[in-house]
Amino acid sequence: MERSCGFDKAEGALPNFAVEVWQGFVFINLTATRARWRRG
């Protein structure tokens, strides 16, 4: 994106999400707080 005129990475960045992988399944936490999933 260095060649794009007027592009600001801070304004165009993707949001961060908490992600866990369990037995081949991908779990995504979309909440603002980053809570860990229980393992058991």
In a domain, 4, yes or no: no
Per-residue pLDDT tens digits for 1-40: 567 778 777 777 777 888 889 899 998 888 866 666 666 5
Residue 24 lies in a domain: yes
Phi, psi at residue 39, to the nearest 5°? Answer: -110, 135
Token pair listed for 35: 């809570």
**1 within a domain of the structure (yes/no):** no
Say whether pTM exceeds 0.85. no
Q: How many domains does the chain have?
A: 1
Residue 28 forms part of a structural domain: yes
Q: Which domain holds residue 36?
A: 16-40
Q: Are 28 and 19 in contact (CB under 8 A)?
A: yes
Q: How far is CA 13 from CA 10, 18, 26, 35, in A?
A: 6, 16, 22, 23
> Is 3 contained in some domain?
no
**pLDDT of 10:** 77
